[in-house]
Amino acid sequence: MLKKLFGKSSAPQAVESAAKPEAEKSTTKQGVEKKDPKPRKPREKKPAKQEKPWSLDDYMVAPQEGKTRFHDLNLPMSLMRGIAELGYEYCSPIQAQTLPYTLDGYDAIGKAQTGTGKTAAFLITVITDLLNKPIDGARYIGEPRALVIAPTRELVQQIADDAKNLCKYTGLHVVSLIGGVDYDRQMKQLETQAVDIVVATPGRLMDFKERSQIYLDQVEIMVIDEADRMLDMGFIPQVKRIISHTPKKSQRQTLLFSATFTPDILNLSERWTHEPIRVEIEPERVAADTVEQIVYIVSADEKFGLLKKCLSGDKVESVIIFANRRDTTRKLHERLQKAGFKAGILSGDIPQNKRSRTLEDFKSGKLKVLVATDVAGRGIHIDGISHVVNYTLPEDPEDYVHRIGRTGRAGAEGVSISFACEDDAFMLPSIEELLGRKLNAVLPPEEMMG
């Protein structure tokens, strides 16, 4: 039943890069071995700070019929504290359906989109696994025990942020590796102490692998997130190579998530996972139930004036404005700034470090307004977004669902306002078909016009 009981850190692992010459290894005072012949002293792992003794009394959640509490899963106390601090009470459906198995070592393939809590589902599995099987002996620099790969830099950063939050009291070291930002800085993070969890985009991870700055033969648990997007973006060959450097699938635990289960994805899942459990969570339509959807009929010329009025509303705390094209996004951003709004922009042509700063400023509330394209906006995990504006309606109805899913997250109320001019109106029927209901398109109230 517990298939990975012996397969994790204890069993000999048949791996490609196992043949490390003994002579290259050296051991530091802290017991962290490294392959670099130059002695460089790794920083001592600091124990997590404990200001006050924490216990489950600080995190009381009443049992509820049909719901799973994190308390019911026998998770390590340091992880429970992180979960409590994030304010989670009950498991989301994907968590409740996967955790009982993945915590037992089973592989899993999950059909789940962002907004379902899938990130915490796999991170809680990873963290519990690492904490329950501490490594007594020496560790090597650049040898993660857990590897998470995801297709985009934004997604990697969000996963790494979630991982750092959940790991806050565990002493586990999380490193993210993404393209477009300083290579050396990422390398230093790997060199200063043994790394437990690496979260990476496939390209940057392969750069590190090829320069022998990372070794994947000690990976006990591996997560492939948004496998369908990896496929769309042409990353599968890289992912295959990455996986070939990790232990055999019977000797690692593998969790794969994808928003769709196409035959291609199911084929890959079969190759990469070992007797997985399969969980399917219905798409974000669920989230859409907590979103009030308004559609205003406007002419193209009236859109900007109406947008300004919408942004000035009382209840507007933070807003993402979506447009279909990068140039529309850029122009809109410029006009908003000229009109005195503190607005940021997220689109593919903005450099990565600037995008990260913008996201941080938006998260912290420094920026109230964010203008984004679908690709850049997809997968943004920010709670507390009060409004989403569809400045243009998307051509793909799935994008509409994704967009409005940015608000009304985790049960909170949200408002989506769509501007439907003549061109946009063509998209409405297919969106309504996907939603399974009609959207009531109305003229904006008079005080919002002119």
Cα–Cα distances (Å) from 395 to 228, 374, 429, 430, in that order, read 20, 11, 11, 9
Residue 270 amino acid letter = E
- Binding residue (CB under 6 A) for ligand AMP from 92, 97, 246, 254: 92
**Strands in 205-265 per DSSP E:** 221-224, 253-258
Q: Name the closest residue to ligand AMP (Cβ).
A: 119
3-state secondary structure of 372: strand
**Which of the 8 DSSP states describes residue 90?**
B
* Residues 6 or more apart in contact with residue 203 via CB below 8 angstroms: 179, 235, 238
CB of 385 to ligand AMP, least distance (A): 10
Among 4-12, 113-121, 183-191, 354-362, the segment contacting ligand AMP (CB under 6 A): 113-121
- Does the protein bind ligand AMP through residue 118 (CB under 6 A)? yes
- Does the protein bind ligand AMP through residue 142 (CB under 6 A)? no
- Identity of the residue, 4 or 378, whose beta carbon is nearer to ligand AMP in the bound complex: 378
- Binding residue (CB under 6 A) for ligand AMP from 42, 115, 142, 247: 115
110 CA to centre of own chain:
14
CB of 137 to ligand AMP, least distance (A): 34
Among 118-126, 228-236, 317-325, 360-368, the segment contacting ligand AMP (CB under 6 A): 118-126
- Binding residue (CB under 6 A) for ligand AMP from 383, 413, 422, 433: 383
- Does the protein bind ligand AMP through residue 123 (CB under 6 A)? no
CB of 114 to ligand AMP, least distance (A): 4
- Binding residue (CB under 6 A) for ligand AMP from 114, 193, 254, 269: 114
Is residue 108 within a helix (H) or strand (E), and if so which, with residue range? strand 108-111
CB of 92 to ligand AMP, least distance (A): 5
Among 40-48, 91-99, 215-223, 440-448, the segment contacting ligand AMP (CB under 6 A): 91-99
CB-CB contact of 418 with 424 (8 Å)? yes
CB of 91 to ligand AMP, least distance (A): 5
32 token code pair: 């962290």
- Binding residue (CB under 6 A) for ligand AMP from 225, 409, 415, 420: 409
Place of tokens 């830099």: 153
Query: Given 3-state DSSP classes, what are the helix, strand and coil percentages for the chain, each rounded to the nearest 5?
Result: 40, 15, 45
CB-hemisphere CA count at 13 Å for 251? 18
Specify whether the backbone of 134 is left (phi greater than 0), alpha (psi in -120 to 50) or beta.
beta
- Identity of the residue, 81 or 333, whose beta carbon is nearer to ligand AMP in the bound complex: 81
* Residues 6 or more apart in contact with residue 258 via CB below 8 angstroms: 109, 110, 111, 226, 227, 228, 265, 269
> What's the angle, vertex CA 191, arms to CA 230 and CA 27, rounded to 5?
125
- Using only C-alpha atoms, the chain has a radius of gyration, in whole angstroms, of 23
CB of 287 to ligand AMP, least distance (A): 9
Main-chain dihedrals φ then ψ at residue 204, nearest 5 degrees: -70, -35
- Does the protein bind ligand AMP through residue 381 (CB under 6 A)? yes
- Does the protein bind ligand AMP through residue 24 (CB under 6 A)? no
Among 18-26, 116-124, 223-231, 329-337, the segment contacting ligand AMP (CB under 6 A): 116-124
Helices 153-166 and 118-132, interaxial angle, to 10°?
Answer: 50
- Does the protein bind ligand AMP through residue 145 (CB under 6 A)? no
- Identity of the residue, 204 or 409, whose beta carbon is nearer to ligand AMP in the bound complex: 409
Total binding residues for ligand AMP by CB under 6 A?
Answer: 15
- Does the protein bind ligand AMP through residue 394 (CB under 6 A)? no
- Identity of the residue, 31 or 384, whose beta carbon is nearer to ligand AMP in the bound complex: 384
- Binding residue (CB under 6 A) for ligand AMP from 78, 97, 102, 116: 116
- Binding residue (CB under 6 A) for ligand AMP from 88, 215, 296, 400: 88
Cα–Cα distances (Å) from 290 to 194, 201, 286, 409, 437, in that order, read 43, 32, 8, 8, 15
CB of 70 to ligand AMP, least distance (A): 7
Give me the residues that bind ligand AMP (CB under 6 A), please: 88, 91-92, 95, 114-120, 381, 383, 409-410
